Structure 1
Amino acid sequence: MPTKVLTVCLGNYCRSPFAQLALSRRGGPRLAVRSAGLISKWQDKPAHPSMVEAARRLGFDLSAHRGRHITLEMLGWADTVLAMDASVLATLRAVFGPQHDSKLCLYLDGRDVPDPIGEDDAAFFDCAVMIEAGTALHGGGLIT
């Protein structure tokens, strides 16, 4: 049975959707990966166009993505929940309580994946490169 991973960012608009693709590719059938956001602003909307382009440049197709708002059911489904930054991690802990704390961690062990919203296309590409590199570096032992 595959390890179930949920990637979470603020809006499920750029970072966590790309992390879902990158982890899925790296982990293959050993990982079942989903993504979600803390806010519902981009619910059912496509990923940010600059992240779609950054993903394309790295050989990924993010065009089918539609935003999802995190639910308690999603959290319960996951074996591991990877927050894209410390603020997202703190919100997950505050909203969902200590019973889920053991499955919550940062996507990059000990550091944030900066949110590129409001930045230029280069920032989105740099973010995507960081996320893709993180699939090999993730300290949680999900991918060996």
Structure 2
Amino acid sequence: MRNLLTVCLGNYCRSPVAQIALARRGGTAVTVRSAGLIGKWQGQPANPSMINAARRLGLDLTSHRAEQITLEALDWADEVLAMDTAVLDTLRAICGEANEHKLGLYLPGRDVPDPMGQGDEVFNDCAVLIEAGTALHIGRGHP
């Protein structure tokens, strides 16, 4: 069993979709959690536009509640997948040497663009990109 942690800025749009998409693809082989760097939306549901975008892919985000990153979550994870380079840089600054080897981008060499403040089409494109990225972490040589 692998423990994956997906992280974005607020755990409000991107990382929740990655969490449920990875969990669906990985089944019992993975446990997936998500978190955000900031606590602005802590305890709140996912962004309504992202809930709708995820629904189009057969993913149910309605039970999601945003969580802020903790050192305990970093310790728990086998892999920490940052949604963009800025998030990855912040994680490197806070995680300490013991966890740095676990860090990487969700899409190696590429950011998952933050859809906040944009239209539904951007949220839909973001969700599709995230769902497609699950193949990079589960399957094809991964347990």
Matches within 5 A, 1:5-20: 5-20=4-19
With the length of structure 1 as denominator, give the TM-score of the two structures.
0.95
Could you tell me which residue of structure 2 aligns to residue 32 of structure 1?
A: 31
Stretches of structure 1 lacking an aligned partner (at least 5 in a row): none
SS, match of residue 62 in structure 1? coil
Counterpart check, 1:83 vs 2:82: yes
Please give the alpha-carbon distance, in whole angstroms, between the structure 1 residues aligned to 2:35 and 2:99.
Answer: 16
1:7-26 CA-partner distances (Å, limit 9, x unpaired) = 00000001000000000001
Counterpart check, 1:115 vs 2:114: yes
Deviation at 1:96, TM superposition (A): 1.7
- Structure 1 vs Structure 2 CA RMSD: 1.6
The percent identity for this pair of structures is 65
Please give the alpha-carbon distance, in whole angstroms, between the structure 2 residues aligned to 1:142 and 1:131.
Answer: 19
Could you tell me which residue of structure 2 aligns to residue 68 of structure 1?
A: 67
1:75-98 CA-partner distances (Å, limit 9, x unpaired) = 000000000000000000011222
Stretches of structure 2 lacking an aligned partner (at least 5 in a row): none
1:39-96 CA-partner distances (Å, limit 9, x unpaired) = 0000000000000000011111100000000100000000000000000000000112
Instruction: Give the partner amino acid of 1:79.
Output: D
Deviation at 1:99, TM superposition (A): 2.1
In the alignment of these two chains, the number of paired residues is: 143
Closer/same/farther in 2, CA of residues 78 and 142 from structure 1, 3 Å limit: farther
Deviation at 1:135, TM superposition (A): 0.4
Please give the alpha-carbon distance, in whole angstroms, between the structure 2 residues aligned to 1:66 and 1:110.
Answer: 29
